[in-house]
Chain A
Amino acid sequence: NAGVTQTPKFQVLKTGQSMTLQCAQDMNHEYMSWYRQDPGMGLRLIHYSVGAGITDQGEVPNGYNVSRSTTEDFPLRLLSAAPSQTSVYFCASSYGWQAMNTGELFFGEGSRLTVL
């Protein structure tokens, strides 16, 4: 079972460059999200989506763009990379955003991004 797949696993960018982190899930999950993980700060929500064509901002959306054209894919775009965006990025998905007995997030293995 593939689960949640993130690519690339590692990336080094120069300030000002743009790039896209890919996320795909094969579990037919409605809900998908992107988090960034920084030391001592836990995970912070960047953007999320409750279905194809629907996205919304999380806690730290500035500098990032998302789209959800299919149920399976939820790419995260860095428009003009900055050193403050050096982080580990996690994509996570879930069965249903209103289901009472789920709430479990399924995580990818992470993408480590360094911006010089």
Chain B
Amino acid sequence: AQSVTQPDIHITVSEGASLELRCNYSYGATPYLFWYVQSPGQGLQLLLKYFSGDTLVQGIKGFEAEFKRSQSSFNLRKPSVHWSDAAEYFCAVGFVYNFNKFYFGSGTKLNVKP
């Protein structure tokens, strides 16, 4: 079945530590890939996206993500986490000529310890 998988439901990191959130997808074609962040009580905001080209993409708030075709992964990273990064993070996929449908992972909640 086609899916977007975020294997970590909760992650806790200390402020200043590095972060990696995992995302894997299983679709026949390479989709367009996105990471969104949801702060408590808010809607989702786009962090970054990958369509083609350089497999390492930079986003807002110091985040980056790397697309690995061989692993069907699009992991989100940040070198040094800030307390304000505590939120829920969603990986999503979309398809060429079919942006009608975005498929979201189940989300990873990030806790940041002082």
Contacts and interface: CB of A to CB of B under 8 A. Distances in A.
B41 interface: yes
Contact of B101 (A40, A58, A99): A58
A97 to B, nearest CB: 5
A85 to B, nearest CB: 19
A43 B99 contact: no
A50 B34 contact: no
Contacts of B46: 104-105
A104 B4 CA distance: 17
B102 to A, nearest CB: 6
| Interface residue range, chain B | 20 to 34
A56 interface: yes
A105 B106 contact: no
Given A42-B90, A98-B97, A100-B51, A105 B42 contact: no
Interface string A3-33: 0100000000000000000000000000101
B21 to A, nearest CB: 14
Nearest to A48: B100
Interface in A61-116: 90, 92, 94, 96-105, 107-110
